[in-house]
Structure 1
Amino acid sequence: MSNLDLKPAANLCGGNGRTGPVRDVQPGKQVPLGESTVVRRLLPNLGRRMVGAWCFVDHYGPDDIADEPGMQVPPHPHMGLQTVSWLREGEVLHRDSLGSLQAVRPRELGLMTSGPAIAHSEESPYGHGPLLHGAQLWVALPGEHRNAAPAFEHHTDLPVITGGGLTATVILGELAGATSPGTTYSPLVGADLTLAAGADTRLPLDPDFEYAALTISGESDIDGVRLAPGALLYLGCGRSELPLRASSDSSLLLLGGEPFEEKLLMWWNFIGRTQQDIEEARTDWMTGSRFGTVHGYDGARLPAPELPAVPLKARGRVR
């Protein structure tokens, strides 16, 4: 998924240091995406740039798209990251410059590794269903893997943990001894948690990780904090378990990972370390080199915004 902001800010990420357990609720921001979709942008935000290597989170829907085109995101580039597509309802058709053509459906992992350059598009296919609900997330690639070979993975059989009214699907990384088949380049976890009405349980965590949770549907009590849809709860580090309760059926995403110590510069759809990294990526996209071609999308590719007049600089996480 692309950041369609025509004047994207330079986000200063990484180099965060560690915190103990906290309960910091941070609201999302409404952002238009494509022709008919509005998303709640939860990362990056003014209070939190990253959670582990997770650096971008958009939550969308549930949207009634029965008479709408649904998601229509033209071909656009990525550098220095992985994209994670996760659906609760609907279907999204992924195309990329590697030649991939794949429909991603609910509870299937669509994982794209950009390495130094890739391009892709995402769209609700012709004859799509009436609802669209899901999340698009980015994972920053650490320095030693920033030039990993571009790749696309589609996994339909993900590990599931159950107990105490909780059903947890491990999207990426490892949780409670269950490991996703998706490729990772730093220690992290992403999980879809469903709580049945009356659930009261504790989920084991890695105390070396920092964590955050966001509600997908319903309302959950997360370590005593009632979290409604549209907000992110940052939980900090140092937790060996997470208390979860729900008075009605609800679901949430849990994100975590070792605090990301590198300094990063994220602008538009690119993650680099220097101004030159970003400038070269933008030039290469606009001149049609390096990122390849996405075939089959019915429409023009997305032009890059203009770079800001002031120099960009990676400085580490800023609160």
Structure 2
Amino acid sequence: MSNPEADAEALRCGALVEDDRPTGVPRVDVLSAREVPLGGPRAMRVRRTLPQRERTLIGAWCFADHYGPHQVAASGGMDLPPHPHTGLQTVTWLFSGEVEHRDTLGTHSLVRPGEVNLMTGGYGIAHSEISTPNTRVIHGVQLWVALPEEHRNAARDFQHHVPEPAQVDGARIRVFLGSLAGRTSPVRTFTPLLGAEIVIEPRAALSLAVDAAFEHGLLVDSGDIRLIDTVLRSAELGYVPRGADTLTMVNETDAPARAILLGGPPFGEEIVMWWNFVGRSHEDIVKAREDWEASSDRFGVIEDSPGGRLPAPALPNAVITPRRNPPTR
């Protein structure tokens, strides 16, 4: 997915500050989303929870968009022409609908509910994402993972996986990245990560053993879910610092509740994000934008792609300034 904002914000994202709070009940910070249009006269709107002032990274997860359910007849669905990425991996997960993915590796893949597509855009890749004609409702999440310095210029890659669900304590869990509830995803990443869809039955309680070296984020899609001692509502993301080895979740409603659980060890590198690029400096971003606008070989060409390329917005009139996660309490 692209970040189509005309005035794309430049972010310098710092490593997390150590959490030296006393032991006890893990803290849950509640992050609210802001709405962002995906461009065009009938723009589909998405709810963006990462990055924001309160938190720029959860592990290596650096971007989280949550969208739908949207009636395609009203919103126009997803229609993102070829656009570039550097220094990251994109993770696509749908709850409903179907999206056609094409990229400059030559990949032509359909993204469906319960199936994960992970694309690596290290040195440079481009892709398009268009909801298929038979899609009536589009609903899902688009996530980005920052690549560490050692691998930020990694070769283009694409992986597809259909996780087998696990049934645990009144919940169904699909692990699309990392390990949880006895399931391990074969999808390759460059830092330890966790990504899973969790559907909790009405009024059910769930206790999950997790890696205490990870920080976690629970993005609620539907229902009210009590994470540890804090109720999260639809489109809210609950952040738990590292140190917790168990996460408890309770569905507070009389209908199934659904959420996406993200996790990873604190990302110890400072990164710069702007538009669809992740780099380490303002100069990295300038160069990536120049290469895209010049149609350089860095990003390649998507064969048989309908329509034109997505142009990059204008760069900010200043050098990117730092933005870091707040000190932990």
Q: Match for residue 205 of structure 2? A: 200
Matches within 5 A, 1:59-98: 59-66=66-73, 69-98=76-105
CA distance in 1, matches of 2:11, 2:75: 32
TM-superposed deviation, 1:198: 2.3
Structure-1 residue corresponding to 2:262:
255
Pick one of 311, 319, 322 that aligns with 1:303.
Answer: 311
Matches within 5 A, 1:1-319: 1-19=1-19, 21-35=26-40, 36-66=43-73, 69-125=76-132, 127-156=133-162, 158-246=163-251, 247-248=253-254, 249-289=256-296, 290-313=298-321, 316-317=324-325
Report the number of matched residues: 317
* Identity of matched residues, %: 46
Post-superposition Cα deviations, 1:122-171, rounded to whole Å, max 9, x if no partner, equal 0012x222111000000000011112111111112x14321210111101
Q: 1:235, CA displacement in angstroms?
A: 1.2
Give the Cα–Cα distance (whole angstroms) in 2 for the partners of residues 291 and 11 of structure 1. 22
The CA distance in 2 between the partners of 1:160 and 1:236, in whole Å, is 27
Alpha-carbon displacement from aligned partner over 1:24-64 (angstroms, at most 9, x marks no partner):
11110000013431000010011000000000000000111
Conserved 8 A contact 2:211-2:244: yes
Alpha-carbon deviations, 1:218-275, whole Å to 9, x = none? 2211112221112111111110111111133100011110000101001110010012
My pick for the range that moved more, 1-10 or 66-75, is 66-75
Equivalent-residue separation in structure 1 for 2:104 and 2:325 (angstroms): 32
Q: Which letter does structure 2 place at the counterpart of 1:254?
A: L
List runs of 5+ in structure 2 lacking aligned partners. none
Alignment TM-score, normalising by the size of structure 2: 0.93
Question: Given residue 7 of structure 2, which amino acid in structure 1 is its aligned partner?
Answer: K
Kept in 1: contact 2:86–2:125 (CA 8 A): yes
Determine the C-alpha separation between the residues in 2 that align with 1:14 and 1:189: 21
Tell me if structure 2 keeps the 8 A contact 1:265–1:313: no
For residues 315 and 209 of structure 1, what CA distance do their matches in structure 2 show?
22
Moved over 4 A (4+): 313-316
Question: How far apart, in 1, do the equivalents of 2:161 and 2:18 lie?
Answer: 32
Cα distance in 1 for partners of 2:274, 2:74 equals 34
Q: Secondary structure at the match of 1:22?
A: coil
| Amino acid corresponding to residue 45 of structure 2 in structure 1 | V
Aligned CA-pair RMSD: 1.5
Shift of 1:315: 6.3
Letter in 2 for 1:294: I
What is the rounded CA distance, in whole Å, between the counterparts of 1:213 and 1:122 in structure 2?
A: 25
Stretches of structure 1 that go unaligned for 5 or more consecutive residues are none
| Structure 1 position 316, deviation (Å) | 4.8
Alignment check: 8 A CA contact 1:264 1:315 kept: no
